[in-house]
Structure 1
């Protein structure tokens, strides 16, 4: 039996105000006058955070449009324009939610690898290390800051560039950056973490490594979304650590049914990942009875509306597209349902599940 030798983030700084150390962190990684490129979620346009970015020389801020999740075409276009403008760059710093961090990871890799990012959707296809990359989350829950994947929607599938070259070289976990997140956005992203934990802890790939991180992340999610009655600074700190621990938990196991099904939704309908997971989780009593019950309690307690009926009126062909994307996520299904998952999750059963969404 061979064990996964998994690549982790090289450097981590955690704490309120740690964003202020960014200049000092980046300085040793500057290569001559090659700029640092800051990919920032377009949500921050005109907001004070932009003025806190420590620009030097030819450094560039690119506002990333993450209305939809990152596409391979968007990654390729960004990498191409940076090569045209600068030739080479010192690094990419992603500041935002999971989509912005995924974009930063992918652009870093495409600065040094030929072809299109769609060529690298899959497991261990990336051949060259990317340029230096830093992840700075402004939402907590996706675990994108620690994962070895960058999830992209390509021409034929939604799949990550899963490789040892994908994780960030540095992450800056500053809970202060999440304080102004809109309540529903914060909830959906937090639920991504909660659902990671349920899927990891109830999966067939479970081991003590995943379990240790998964249990801690779950406990922090429960503190924030079940036990507390108001949001405070401590909630931001706890959710940021839940996201980190949840990401670590799935790094050595896998996610499950909610993620596998929501990938189909986001591929076809452009449904954002956090919301997509919530829409699916709402209907998964058969697979995660206790988790779904608690999830519904959190939805009610936090007064969140989960969209219903998003698959109404779709054609058979559209359902087929979603099912193909979903069933392509083999490790997720195997983790959720075991080796003979294909006899359990038949196309008919998956179609019936999509019909209910």
Structure 2
């Protein structure tokens, strides 16, 4: 679990106070910020001290192992050591911060650690500050990366942030569609966790609360307001906690293939897949479609049209490599249920 959590509107202003005890001599803090904020007022609120620097993370595409390795090497070359890294942005930026933290202290390439419990040493001090709500990246024990051969997280006990700062004021200017897609990532976390074979009372309690908050925000409310931001930020936290103690399922396993081959963003990829999963989550899909309709958001279709057999094979290989996700969704005999032929037909619908 995360060691320290600060929550509340305006709590970003406490960042200097939070970081001060973690500073090690003149070793800098590195502020890794979504490039969306370049030139925006938020940058002027960052408490730079000494050799601290801001690095703008280009997250047009989701993080790659090559990007992580290059950033970590840049910091080692320039500073030798750092006091910590602060990721400010959406799920991709926070995942990038977690991964760079780990690669400051672990040898080799981040691609060597794509999998479960492969990381050997704790990373440098790391802080997560979300500016979008839904991914759960602020609390998860994984950092999802696209590597040379697969899209898979560095999933370990050393991956979670040491500190998170949850300030709902930071998400108020998120574009409507982006807010919906990211919020649906949280909603889908809840559906997959609560209906999975890995479910336990710990993950169930968080998942049920997160689901309730998502329903309130995307179905019951007619106007988006400050309370909506407050509730969605807590839904993201609780949904992330739920899957940290259980697992996700079919939507995520299939969307990883889309992301690897087509570069489809995580949130929208989950929505594209969820639209066709009535067989696995009938009630969840029906409610999801009501949310889409109420919020007047368009879910892309036909993105797999015209793909070659080889491309379908690539997506299926990535997807079927997510074994814990499939086992959570379908049980220990999942390979007898989700055959390659069945998965191919699912991809062809998307």
Q: What is the TM-score when the length of structure 1 is the normalising length?
A: 0.98
Other structure's SS at 1:318 match: helix
The Cα offsets for residues 89-139 of structure 1, whole Å up to 9 and x where unpaired, read as 000000000000000000000011110000000111111111000000000
Q: Superposed, which structure 2 residues align to 1:186-335 within 5 Å?
A: 186-335=179-328
1:26 is aligned to 2:16: no
Deviation at 1:207, TM superposition (A): 1.0
Structure 1: tracts of 5 or more residues without a match: 1-7
How far, CA to CA, are the matches of 1:74 and 1:277 in structure 2? 24
How many corresponding residue pairs? 350
Match of 1:356 in 2: 349
1:120 is aligned to 2:113: yes
Match of 1:5 in 2: none
Other structure's SS at 1:102 match: helix
1:81 is aligned to 2:74: yes
1:165 is aligned to 2:158: yes
Match of 1:55 in 2: 48
Other structure's SS at 1:134 match: strand
Match of 1:152 in 2: 145
Deviation at 1:168, TM superposition (A): 0.3
Structure 2: tracts of 5 or more residues without a match: none
Match of 1:10 in 2: 3
Other structure's SS at 1:331 match: helix
Indicate the RMSD between aligned Cα atoms, in angstroms: 0.4
TM superposition outliers: structure 1 runs of 4+ over 6 Å:
none
1:343 is aligned to 2:339: no
Match of 1:129 in 2: 122
How far, CA to CA, are the matches of 1:42 and 1:264 in structure 2? 26
The Cα offsets for residues 178-213 of structure 1, whole Å up to 9 and x where unpaired, read as 000000000000000000000000111111111100
Q: What is the TM-score when the length of structure 2 is the normalising length?
A: 1.00
How far, CA to CA, are the matches of 1:133 and 1:210 in structure 2? 24
Deviation at 1:156, TM superposition (A): 0.6
Match of 2:90 in 1: 97
Match of 2:134 in 1: 141
